[in-house]
Amino acid sequence: MDMLGMYPTFYVPGIGTAWVMGIIGVIHVVASHTSVGAAFLFALLETKAYRENRPELMDFIKKFGMLLLVFSYIIGSVTGVGIWYAIEIASPRGTGGLIHSFVWVWAAEWVYFTVEVIGVYALVYLIGKVDAKTHLKLTWSFALASWATMLLIVGILSFMMWPGHDNWYQTGSTNDAFYNLNFFAHLGTRTGSMLVMAVLVGLMVASRMKDLELRRRVVKFLAPIGLVGGLFAVMMFLYYLQTLPNNAIVMLHTHLLPVYAQGMVAVFAVSTLWLVFAWWKPHRVYTSLAVALFAFIAVVGVWPEERMRESMRKPYVAGQYIYGNQVIARDVPGKGIVGEVDKIAENGLLKLHPFVPDRLRVVNDGNRLEVGRLLTKVACANCHSLEPKTPLRNIPDKFHGATDEDLIAAFMQGPLKHGTQPYMPRIDLPEVEVRAIAHFLATVNSGKDVDRLIAEQQKLAAPVAAKKE
């Protein structure tokens, strides 16, 4: 029997895998969006300095640039590597699917990122050392390279939501994958957001400037850019909502908007009022207030937005053909990919998964609990935690503490088997595997120490296994 091309399941007890990726990702977004937005602020502000012969504006650019070097690029680079590590161990087949479709896009993004990193160093250290026109060209090159990195990554991220064009499944074309229905709306939303975030950080930098007149000029210049960026982000986000697939719309209206809508409105209102106030009273832009408001917007704005995006594409992790649990959901002829759901239904995960220990491939009374835990990890742990009362969509609580194995099994053999549960993957398993999962979840909900029970069962089974050898 051919084994599925699966990998070992990575699971973080208590919080689950998704939160590891989420925390790293949010920090990366704050750092990267600030740096890309700042690149454009530098270009616009330096253009003003060049045309109006105001070299004093370069002092602000230098201070802001040093902040980017110390914080944004270091944090962005570290978390960028962290994201690769997290997604590779948590969702290896999803990551492989993206590389399969976008290998040259990622290569191009690396080239632009290299230009971006070199550019920010050159921008900061060459102020006053080369002529103004040459430096202006350098700054605009840096800005365009920075935005190009975002553009290329957005093409990949939007494909993760869905290709948008059914012909991609037949062609496997990178163009069909990249220029999906969600791409331009997604790019516009992030472009507007990056300007707002960069302006908010810029106000923090400006508040530390001793020259009050220079501070006034800089703040008066920055605030309108932030307001325009915020309005543009909102308009593009509304457009973004119109480009979502049906599963994302269901998830949005049933689980996400009721939770995050008020926070999103609050972020828009607070950031708008802050920017209007800064434009009106630039001398009242104090550092403590600027830092506090940026922190508020980063926590209340970026975290929910990124979590919404990640949650909306469920049950898929990429292209609406790879489930979050790494199972291939459908055929993709253009890539030579064959769906696995029916194969699993016929043969079971225990037989097909290459990393199931041999002693657990056949279910019996002595290993049913351990098998159930293993199968639950493989089928569910990419999105759920296994322990009760944990923060990330823990599975036991989804059954409201049910200890009736028949009830749990009925759900798995009903909505999950037939793929009728919104935002959940189709999980069609043989009866014996369904019963093992139901047994595990019922045991957890009963309050018993699962680890201790499994350890005792392993101890009892060890002599029997030794005799067979």
Please spell the DSSP secondary structure of 253-305, one letter per residue. Answer: IIIIHHHHHHHHHHHHHHHHHHHHHHHH-GGG--HHHHHHHHHHHIIIIIHHH
Q: In the chain, what percentage of residues exceed pLDDT 90?
A: 62
Q: What is the pLDDT of residue 243?
A: 94
- The Cα–Cα gap between 84 and 98 comes to 12
Summarised one tens digit per residue, pLDDT across range 159-212 is 999 998 888 999 999 999 999 999 999 999 999 999 999 999 999 999 999 889
Cα-based distances in Å from 275 to 65, 194, 223, 272, 279:
21, 15, 5, 5, 6
Q: What's the distance, CA 70 to chain centroid? A: 24
Cα-based distances in Å from 159 to 111, 236, 244, 375:
21, 17, 11, 29
Q: What is the pLDDT of residue 174?
A: 93
- The Cα–Cα gap between 318 and 37 comes to 27
Q: What is the pLDDT of residue 370?
A: 96
- DSSP assignment, residue 323? E
Q: What is the mean pLDDT of the chain?
A: 90
Cβ–Cβ < 8 Å for 146, 68: no
| CA-CA-CA-CA torsion sign (247, 249, 254, 259) | positive
User: Mean pLDDT throughout 449-456?
Assistant: 90
The neighbour count for residue 28, using CB atoms within 10 Å, is 20
Closest Cα partner for 323 from 2, 6, 1, 83?
6
pLDDT category at 8 given cuts 50, 70, 90 is: confident
| Model confidence, pTM | 0.90
Cβ–Cβ < 8 Å for 453, 443: yes
Q: Is the pLDDT of residue 289 over 60?
A: yes
- The Cα–Cα gap between 220 and 222 comes to 6
Q: What is the pLDDT of residue 61?
A: 94
Q: What is the pLDDT of residue 36?
A: 94
Which string of b and e fits 115-140 if b means at least 16 CB within 10 Å? bbbebbebbbeebeeeeeeebbebbb
Summarised one tens digit per residue, pLDDT across range 344-356 is 999 999 999 999 9
Cβ–Cβ < 8 Å for 218, 57: yes
Q: Is 248 helix (H, G, I), strand (E, B) or coil?
A: helix
Cβ–Cβ < 8 Å for 214, 208: no
Q: What's the distance, CA 164 to chain centroid? A: 19
Summarised one tens digit per residue, pLDDT across range 30-75 is 999 999 999 999 999 999 999 999 999 999 999 999 988 888 888 9
Tell me the CATH number of domain 17-323, given options 1.20.1630, 1.10.150, 2.40.128, 1.10.287: 1.20.1630
User: Mean pLDDT throughout 95-119?
Assistant: 92
Closest Cα partner for 382 from 371, 395, 372?
395
Q: Rounded to 5, what percent of the chain is helix, strand, coil?
A: 75, 0, 25
Tokens of 101: 């479709």
Residue with tokens 């939303």: 189
Q: What is the pLDDT of residue 427?
A: 94
Closest Cα partner for 409 from 369, 376, 439?
439
pLDDT category at 109 given cuts 50, 70, 90 is: very high
Q: What is the pLDDT of residue 3?
A: 64
Q: Is the pLDDT of residue 18 over 80?
A: no
Cβ–Cβ < 8 Å for 443, 450: yes
pLDDT category at 1 given cuts 50, 70, 90 is: very low
User: Mean pLDDT throughout 412-418?
Assistant: 93
* CATH fold for the domain made of 351-468: Cytochrome Bc1 Complex; Chain D, domain 2 (1.10.760)
Summarised one tens digit per residue, pLDDT across range 431-447 is 999 999 999 999 999 98
Q: Is the pLDDT of residue 423 over 90?
A: no
Q: Is the pLDDT of residue 402 over 90?
A: no
The neighbour count for residue 418, using CB atoms within 10 Å, is 10
Cα-based distances in Å from 284 to 147, 212, 279, 281, 407:
32, 11, 10, 5, 62
pLDDT category at 381 given cuts 50, 70, 90 is: confident
- Would you list the domain boundaries of the chain? 17-323, 351-468
Q: What's the distance, CA 135 to chain centroid? A: 35
Q: How long, in residues, is the chain?
A: 469
